[in-house]
Amino acid sequence: MSLYNFKRIAVVPSAKEFIDVMLSKTQRKTPTVVHKHYKISRIRGFYMRKVKYTQQNFHDRLSRIIQEFPKLDDVHPFYADLMNVLYDKDHYKLGLGQLNTARHLIDNVSKEYVRLLKYGDSLYRCKQLKRAALGRMATIMKRQAANLTYLEQVRQHLSRLPSIDPYTRTIIICGFPNVGKSSFINKITRADVEVQPYAFTTKSLYVGHTDYKYLRWQVLDTPGILDHPLEDRNVIEMQAVTALAHLRACALYVMDVSEQCGHSLEEQVALFDSIRPLFSNKPLLVVLNKVDVTRVQDLPQNKKEIMMEFQKRIAGNVTSENGEKQDIEIPMLEMSTISGEGVQEVKNEACERLLSFRVDAKMRTKKVDGILNRLHVAIPAPRDDKPRPAFIPPMVAEKKEKSAASKKRRLEREIELEEGIDYVLDLKKSYYEIPADERYDIIPEFWEGHNVADYIDPEIFEKLAELEKDEELREEAGMYVVPKIELDQTLMEIKELALQIRNKRAIMKDESRIVKQSTKPVMPRNTVCKAKDRTVSKLVDEMEELGVDMSETQNTHFSRARSRSMSRGPAAKKARALSEASKSVSGRSLSRGRSASTVPRDEQGVKDVAMKSRLHKISQKAISKKVKSRGLKGEADRFIGNKMPKHLFSGKRGMGKTDRR
């Protein structure tokens, strides 16, 4: 897991977004209504709260930005130098320092205007002081626009940096551009670094991870380095120099023997000599790549002499921290990333050298000396050449052999091979904790904490057989025989009539379905009156055919039709008009807006006064239960929704813009 995770740094908003967010938050989170009729102390408190809340929001957001960005004095020197190379240390510190100054200025503005608001003598003066305070805070943040933009760009670049742990086991690959560094890291890790046949394809640091001896290793691919003075190197090259200078890792210096990278062997050797101080106190390997194109043995004589001289120079002559020269041989290995030859050997050698280097470094610490001083390993010197083996009495040896033979358990595989086809796997014989006579008992089944066997009757099958015999005897005696009911003449007639009615209903259903599904055009009713298919007289005739007496129904029908026709005549209309006029003149007891014929809603369907009062009590009880206990709206509650919430639509709005300030 990486020690530094720059992806967690929050987004730095621009100055305009910063001000918009802070002021809208103040508008949403603080009260918005104040009147001049309020007490002056209440008006002062209203505006002081707004100023303090805005200042606190600015303070918290700026503090978060300042704290989340890494401090160059606290991080590992590798990250401090890398950030200096990428972003310029002075510019970075200046940006954070100016944000810190802006935070203090906003705090001072808030204190000053809160002090002035304590002496505000009117709503207008308090409001103007609040506007001035918020305006000065916004002006301070507007002046930080360039710093906020710069820090947002730094944050985006930091989040794209690879997560490099400077304390873990690391292998750094360096060398000229286009010598095969990215191809090597792609071979030994899952990193997918871009590989192209031109120089400076890799422009930043890339990290891959691999495994060796059940340990996790971090492999670092650096951009190519050119052979010129340190002050002339660009940002891309300085990233590799920073990694080599600060990370305690195993360095692989990759050389292109075939010179396809565009640089000769003399230039590659000269670059090794110029960056040699960066390899001090690090295990180092020189790797000759692209041996599938040209090997060292196949080089021309002058190139071969250069390589021989280089190999002699790197063998030994390594300076330690104390200034003493040590004879440590720097191995020169060959590999080809195209064919895969020697790739694993290079990886294994680098890992082994780094492991031994880390162990030696730990052994040189004072903690190890303190532990070793408390340890003493005694190795007795032999008196003579006579062998003196340990003496075990024969009885003890015999007893040990017997106990070992008795304890040795035969494997199931051995028993299976011995018995062959007759072998049956028996797992219950190994239940040593259960007595031998109980090992093969049926395991009880439990359901909801009860043993199912306790509820099973052992004589259930005998009882079932007895019940079945009883049932057979009852069936033979005729207990379940259904008696035959003979229908008399009246029931027979009713049955026939019901059958005819059912048939007629089915026919009528089919006819109506056919009429509904028909696509014939229908003439509008207001032009031609459609002849009725079904009339009362037709229905009476049909029912009389079926044998139903319809005489009484016919008399009532004709009387109703006659009264209806009489009520539609001109005389009836004149009589109705006279009665309505007399009612309106004589009494005005009817309620306004309701005709005389309509009954009030609470009296519809009610038989008497007692029922009406009872229903009124029930309705009041239901409403009170709904309103009191559950706090819901009742029928008497009126609700007028706020069509324009003040906190959303306050402030001036221009044409076609959402900027409210």
- Each residue's pLDDT tens digit, 144-164: 999 999 999 888 888 877 777
Q: Helix (H, G, I), strand (E, B), or coil: what is residue 115? A: helix
Per-residue confidence (pLDDT) for residue 545, from 0 to 100: 84
- Packing angle, helices 15-29 and 123-142, rounded to 10: 150
Q: Would you say 249 and 205 are in contact if contact means Cβ atoms under 8 Å apart?
A: no
Over the range 252-285, which residues count as b (16 or more CB within 10 Å of their CB) and which as e? bbbbbbbbebebebeebbebbeebeebbeebbbb
Question: Residue type for 294, please?
Answer: T
| 26 and 65 housed in the same domain | yes
Q: How far apart are CA 310 and CA 255, in angstroms?
A: 12
Residue 176 falls within a domain, yes or no?
A: yes
Report yes or no on 493 lying in a domain.
Answer: no
The larger pLDDT score, comparing residue 242 to residue 92, is at 92
Are residues 172 and 120 located together in one domain of the fold?
no
Element (DSSP H or E) covering residue 449: none
- b (16+ CB within 10 A) / e for 233-247: beebbbbbbbbbebb
Cα–chain center distance at 358: 40
- Same domain, residue pair 131 and 14: yes
In a domain, 251, yes or no: yes
Residue 634 lies in a domain: no
Q: What is the pLDDT of residues 347-385, one digit of tens each?
A: 888 898 888 888 888 777 777 777 877 888 888 888 888
Whether residue 114 is contained in a domain is answered as yes
Q: What is the DSSP string of 116-165?
A: HHTT--SHHHHHHHHHHHHHHHHHHHHTTHHHHHHHHHHHHHHHHS----
Q: Find the CATH number of the domain harbouring 38.
A: 1.20.120.1190
Q: What does DSSP assign to residue 299?
A: S
Per the prediction, the chain carries an average pLDDT of 79
Q: How many domains does the chain have?
A: 2
For residue range 535-563, list pLDDT tens digits in order: 878 888 888 888 787 777 666 655 555 55
661 in any annotated domain: no
DSSP class of 651: S
Looking at the fold, whether 146 and 241 belong to one and the same domain comes out as no
**What pLDDT sits at residue 528?**
45
Of 368, 398, 431, at which residue does a domain stop? 368
pLDDT confidence band for 318 (50 / 70 / 90): very low
Question: Do 157 and 87 form a contact (C-beta atoms < 8 A)?
Answer: yes
pLDDT of residue 561: 55
Name which of 50-64, 75-89, 202-216, 224-238 the model is least confident about. 224-238
pLDDT for residue 560: 57
Q: Which of 127, 157, 187 is the last residue of a domain?
A: 157
User: Using an 8 Å Cβ cutoff, are 8 and 68 in contact?
Assistant: yes
Residues 196/186, Cβ–Cβ less than 8 Å = no
Give the span between the Cα atoms of 578 and 582, in whole angstroms: 6
Residue 272: pLDDT above 90? no
The answer to whether residues 182 and 140 belong to one domain is no
CATH number of the domain that residue 210 is part of: 3.40.50.300
> Which range, of 227-236, 313-322, 401-410, averages the lowest pLDDT?
313-322
pLDDT at 320: 46
Same structural domain, 74 and 217: no
Answer with the one of 348, 368, 388 that is the final residue of a domain.
Answer: 368
pLDDT at 591: 45
334 part of a folded domain: yes
Helix axes 301-314, 265-274, angle to 10 degrees: 20
Checking if the pLDDT of 69 tops 80, the result is yes
Backbone angles phi, psi at 221, to 5 degrees: -100, 125
Are 151 and 185 members of one domain?
no
* Beta carbons within 10 angstroms of residue 91's beta carbon: 12
Q: Is residue 322 part of a domain?
A: yes
Please give the C-alpha separations between residue 89 and each of 10, 46, 71, 86, 245, in angstroms, as whole numbers. 21, 44, 10, 9, 18
Q: What is the pTM of this model?
A: 0.50
Same domain, 292 and 223: yes
In degrees and rounded to multiples of 5, residue 191 shows phi and psi of -65, 135
User: What is the distance between the terminal CA atoms of the chain, rounded to a whole angstrom?
Assistant: 47
Q: Which domain holds residue 303?
A: 163-368
Residue 339: per-residue pLDDT: 84
